[in-house]
Structure 1
Amino acid sequence: MTHVDPMTLPVPDPADPAALDELHTEDERLVRETVRKLLDKLVEPHIAEWFEVGAIPGVRELARELGSIGLFGMHLEGYGCPGMSAVDYGLACLELEATDSGLRSLVSVQGSLAMYAIWRWGSEEQKQEWLPRMAAGEAIGCFGLTEPDVGSDPGSMRTVARRDGSDWILDGRKMWISNAPYSDVAVVWAGTDEGVRGFVVPTDTPGFSAPEIKHKLSLRASATGELVLDGVRLPASAMLPEARSLKGPLSCLNEARYGIVWGALGAARSCLETARRYSRERVQFGRPIGAFQLTQQKLADMCLEYVKGYLLALHLGRKKDAGTLRPEHVSMGKLNNVREALEIARSARTVLGANGISLEYPVIRHMTNLESVLTYEGTVEMHTLVLGQLLTGEQAFR
């Protein structure tokens, strides 16, 4: 073994102290840089204002821009989808959420929920009709599972679909549905005599409406709505033929949760880097606050949790690409990375002091967004119990 004096090696980059960049291929870094370049040009100058007003003006134009670089359904194959790796998709989610969780939600719901449902469980006709347009950002989709009184227990859903001749009639309500107010198509899950089935519902179908949910203090740059289905008549061809139980929607949720494992790290990175830079610029008692031990402890703790979360996400991404990723692995990643990202955001807020609550900095925006990310796609409690069941063999959900 050749001895190398470690003190002669280059000093690590403070923005990447664990040299995580070395873990990626050139192609993976190119994906990350392509996404970052687009976001810096089109979104970063405006995202604080969009958060404040609670909307993304020109969302359809933005969707086409995102589609132009393959962000929608990027890990799916065929039908205009790029067929890229799970790690590529994870890096894209990280960069999207480093800008804003609401933007990553737009992409996740489109690709990992609505498009994945059609790609995995749909008919060839459904795939041909919707996936190419959705991949290009020409059509926007949403995913209707959660209901006003049904969250973690989707088996108790009250939305129903009944046969009427060769047609289906859907009645019910869905709640907290991202992308709903401007969607062209909704994948809606409903109880039938055959169990839970999925339906591809064009949003201009009579009886369908998607009123926007107002007065949110989190994910404000993401449009959220209710799906109202009052006697929505659909042809038999609207049913997803391959999905015949809760396995259908749960498989889609697992895809979206994987993206969140990476995405939450983006919000964490943005907060950590903002706090690090601020600690070098903000002077108190005659020197930068980064020169004080308590500030350095906060930064060191944030850095360690970010690095550990990143290593976990990358490990899960490699497993997904190898076909060995289990839902329990995704629960572990979602539970850890979102929880730690929120703690990083809260700690970063304290480093910024009063400036931490200003939209002049991204920290409070990330912090409030992560409060929603902590809950959706499976709450902390549910993912804790998934891990608990794995460790003990005992199911504690009920």
Structure 2
Amino acid sequence: MMLAIAMAVAVLGGVYLAYQGAPLVIWTLAVFLYALGLWGGGLLPDGGMLLTLAVLTPLALVLNLPMLRRRLLSRRLFTVFKRSLPPMSATEREALEAGDTWWEGELFKGNPDWQRLRSIPVTRLTEEEQAFLDHQVAHLCRMLDNDRIEREQGDLPAEVWEYIRKERFFSLIIPKAYGGREFSSYAQSCVVTRIATRNISTAVTVMVPNSLGPGELILHYGTQAQKDYWLPRLADGREIPCFALTGPDVGSDAASMPDFGVVCRGMHEGREVLGARVSFSKRYITLAPVATVVGLAFRLHDPEGLLGAPREYGITCALVPAAHPGIRIGDRHLPMGLAFMNGPVEGRDVFIPLEWIIGGPEMAGKGWRMLMECLSVGRAISLPALGTAAGHMSFRMTGAYARIRRQFRLPIGRFEGVQEAMARIGGYAYRMEAARRLTATAGDLGIKPSVISAIAKYHMTEMMRRSINDAMDVHGGRGIIFGPRNYLGYSYQAIPVGITVEGANILTRNLMIFGQGAVRCHPFVFQEMEAVRNEDLAAFDRLLLGHVGYSLNRGTRALVLGLTGSRWAQTPVRSGPTADYYRQLTRMSAALAFVSDVAMGVLGGELKRKERLSARLGDVLSHLYLGSAVLKFHEDAGRPEAELPFVRWALDDSLNQIGLAFDAFFRNFPSPLLGAALRALVFPLGRPYHPPRDKDGQSIAQAMMQTGGVRDRLTGIGFWAEDDGEDAVGRMEVALRMLEQVEPLYDRFQKLVARGEVEGLTFGERLAQARERGLLDEEEAERLQVYEDLRYECVLTDALPPEALAPTGARPSSGRRRERADSAAV
């Protein structure tokens, strides 16, 4: 009996110390006290006690005395670690170091501080920003005819281009000192989101100069002379910028670009200056056909050492006027039939002065770092805004259509199959709006969120894809026929654009999210790598000791939380409908921290090539972040009860996705035995997470079909033309509001028809008979006829005259090819 008690004390004591993250000295003291207790209780004889002390004392000295530990233990591990460290190119290193970690770092460490999340001040629009959104942005939206722009013209109308320039839509990030608007990151997100609910091509046109482009690069890295010259011209629209990065053989792997420049002397404006002859072939460059200034990325070589010793400088960014001799620009690509300007930029042996390098000659070779830092900010704002806008459109229009459109005398939104699709649309819309607000806030806090931006870009464009697909399924034929009435089709066309640009989603998921997050967010790994590269054994020893304790703590936490249903996890709310979600996210955070450590320790550099394994751990980190955003969004609103079905759906889905990701990781781990052991530790009682409940999905579908409430809070940022019954979107809004007023009367009339109390071949004939028989009065009949006419307009699709669809040759272009006679095409 005493032996059983002693063993229980050992196990429980060890678990407690590991769970609390006790330091090594406490572990050492506890082990010696335990041995003394066994000896004092008669369970350990004198000889056994002496033997125990003989073993424990040297071990304790080695582990607790840094000099001994480094000489006898850490030095050997240092050699092993150095040998297993994967090679890292300069561009990989710059990509890792670019940007900052933020809340995702807390989630990766396994014990998130929820109070920190709750205290993050989410950005609010200033009066100036709100006024711009309510007036200039709303006015721009009213100028946009979606079908005319995308199907008929293939370009924005001239008056729209002029208005965008006049109202400085291209200058949202430029400081007021240079004539810009100097808006917050959140305001930029709101502007792009509202425009995108109206027209995707216009939103892309506005977002690109305010994302990764010459303006941002000049603002952060340009010389004062470059800022003074270019920023005012970009702010007032005299210059339209594009940034030429991608090429035929260079997509997501921009670091491998073949475009090059060689330092030399040449003539510029009548005098000989030091410059570079640059050859390049760029593709898929947004705004290129109409750009007046080109941001250009290329590899700079100085074989003659004109800048000093001969060297390869690497990726360099320069700003070049589009009309500069040798540049060929103006042709258009046709991205999925959308109207935004996109095309190639080419040149061979184009001589540019070194002063045109962004930041001047001293910034030669530093372009990759510049691009990585700026890209992370833009990716955190622009593409999440497009994805959210598509989610808002799907939410708002599908909810209205599902109530207006009837089958078998019932609104189609009452059918469970339709409700299943609507639940996904509503749940994704809630999650996307939550993530959009939280992610944009990072930029306003001065954070360049490299990992979070990748999470937001990938998942919000993927949710865009799923939401629009579901919306198209619910709308059926109503969604696939192009014309002035179609409000979904052009968003559907835009899906591959969002999926592809600023890092293709396949690469983002499989390489970036976990590949960068594991190193940047981990409290020890990157520092250990640096210590090894710097041959700093003392630092490595200190970090290794902390790393071992960290792993032991996270593994124990994951097991204990799994065995106890996460009851020991700390939460900011002790009870209520969201308390358990905090606990479950904490549990999965601890599991991610431990499993990641095991995977990196066992696979080492091989994990870099096990893309599907790392992608699954990236999914876990992503859904921890998205779930956190949902909780904060709900908390910041005062935890409204009406939103709980959305909150539960989004969090149940995220936890289920986390469970599925872990399950696939364990099943495919190279060591089946270790995979099974990890599964037993993370899910000791089985995987507890399941898809969202049907009941919550039904509640979401009902909320989507109601005006006001959650519908307006989630989608209020969009432009819905709510008072314009002639507009495709506005007509749905007017019809839904009218239906809420006449629905009881409409249902009563339909029952009369179903029971055979009124007859007729048309709605009008039946209505007339009901009035003649005294079943409806004149005012009721008139209201029903007005609604029926509007309802029919809402479900009707366009039919165009044959000449409107006749082949017309090449689409029009407001761009123009610009090529100097003395240049040669690449």
* 1: CA distance, partners of 2:610 / 2:325: 38
Q: How far off is 1:30 after superposition?
A: 4.0
RMSD: 2.3
Distance 1:79 1:276, change over 3 A: same
Q: How far off is 1:299 after superposition?
A: 1.7
* 2: CA distance, partners of 1:38 / 1:49: 17
Give the unaligned 5+ runs of structure 2.
Answer: 1-121, 266-273, 302-312, 519-595, 601-606, 612-826
Q: How far off is 1:164 after superposition?
A: 2.2
Distance 1:397 1:147, change over 3 A: farther
Answer yes or no: is 1:217 the counterpart of 2:340.
Answer: no
Post-superposition Cα deviations, 1:18-58, rounded to whole Å, max 9, x if no partner, equal: xxxx9955746544333541233211xx2212111462244
**Map of 2:169 onto structure 1:** 71
Alignment-mate amino acid for residue 135 of structure 2: T
Distance 1:25 1:155, change over 3 A: closer
Structure that is richer in helix per residue: 2
Alignment-mate amino acid for residue 299 of structure 2: G
* 2: CA distance, partners of 1:288 / 1:23: 39
Q: How far off is 1:126 after superposition?
A: 2.1
Alignment-mate amino acid for residue 323 of structure 2: D
**Map of 1:379 onto structure 2:** 504
Answer yes or no: is 1:37 the counterpart of 2:132.
Answer: no
**Map of 1:357 onto structure 2:** 480
* 2: CA distance, partners of 1:163 / 1:247: 21
Distance 1:208 1:139, change over 3 A: same
Q: 1:135 aligns with which of 216, 235, 245?
A: 235
Q: How far off is 1:100 after superposition?
A: 2.6
**Map of 2:463 onto structure 1:** 340
**Contact 2:377 2:448 (8 Å CA) reproduced:** no
Alignment-mate amino acid for residue 246 of structure 2: T
Q: TM-score if structure 1 supplies the norm length?
A: 0.87
How is 1:59-208 mapped onto 2 (pairs within 5 angstroms)? 59=158, 61-77=159-175, 78-112=177-211, 113-165=213-265, 166-193=274-301, 194-208=313-327
SS at match of 1:221: coil
**Map of 1:232 onto structure 2:** 350
Distance 1:325 1:203, change over 3 A: closer
Answer yes or no: is 1:263 the counterpart of 2:386.
Answer: yes
Distance 1:289 1:35, change over 3 A: farther
Post-superposition Cα deviations, 1:130-179, rounded to whole Å, max 9, x if no partner, equal: 22122222321100000111111111111111122112211110010010
Alignment-mate amino acid for residue 185 of structure 1: V
**Map of 2:372 onto structure 1:** 250
**Contact 2:315 2:368 (8 Å CA) reproduced:** yes
* 1: CA distance, partners of 2:245 / 2:424: 37
Q: TM-score if structure 2 supplies the norm length?
A: 0.43
The number of equivalent residue pairs is 373
SS at match of 1:82: coil
Distance 1:26 1:203, change over 3 A: closer
Q: How far off is 1:215 after superposition?
A: 4.5
**Contact 2:333 2:344 (8 Å CA) reproduced:** no
**Map of 1:311 onto structure 2:** 434
* 1: CA distance, partners of 2:379 / 2:190: 14
**Map of 1:324 onto structure 2:** 447
* 1: CA distance, partners of 2:261 / 2:125: 47
Q: How far off is 1:199 after superposition?
A: 1.1
Q: How far off is 1:370 after superposition?
A: 1.9
SS at match of 1:222: coil
* 2: CA distance, partners of 1:268 / 1:137: 31
SS at match of 2:169: coil
Q: How far off is 1:397 after superposition?
A: 9.1
Q: How far off is 1:344 after superposition?
A: 0.5
* 2: CA distance, partners of 1:40 / 1:91: 13
**Contact 1:64 1:138 (8 Å CA) reproduced:** no
**Contact 1:145 1:249 (8 Å CA) reproduced:** no
Q: Which of 1 and 2 has greater Rg? A: 2
Alignment-mate amino acid for residue 226 of structure 2: Q
**Contact 2:149 2:157 (8 Å CA) reproduced:** no
Alignment-mate amino acid for residue 72 of structure 1: F
* 2: CA distance, partners of 1:257 / 1:205: 30
Post-superposition Cα deviations, 1:83-130, rounded to whole Å, max 9, x if no partner, equal: 111111111111122123322221222122221122122222222222
SS at match of 1:204: coil
Alignment-mate amino acid for residue 187 of structure 1: G
Structure that is richer in strand per residue: 1
* 2: CA distance, partners of 1:42 / 1:377: 29
**Map of 1:294 onto structure 2:** 417
Answer yes or no: is 1:56 the counterpart of 2:151.
Answer: no
**Contact 1:272 1:303 (8 Å CA) reproduced:** yes
Q: How far off is 1:395 after superposition?
A: 3.8
Post-superposition Cα deviations, 1:353-398, rounded to whole Å, max 9, x if no partner, equal: 0111123212121011121111100111222122222244654499
Distance 1:57 1:33, change over 3 A: closer
Give the unaligned 5+ runs of structure 1.
Answer: 1-21
* 2: CA distance, partners of 1:203 / 1:397: 43
**Contact 1:65 1:137 (8 Å CA) reproduced:** no
Distance 1:24 1:57, change over 3 A: closer
Which deviates more, 105-114 or 83-92?
A: 105-114
* 2: CA distance, partners of 1:364 / 1:159: 37
**Contact 1:187 1:199 (8 Å CA) reproduced:** yes
- Identity between Structure 1 and Structure 2 (%): 20
* 2: CA distance, partners of 1:334 / 1:136: 29
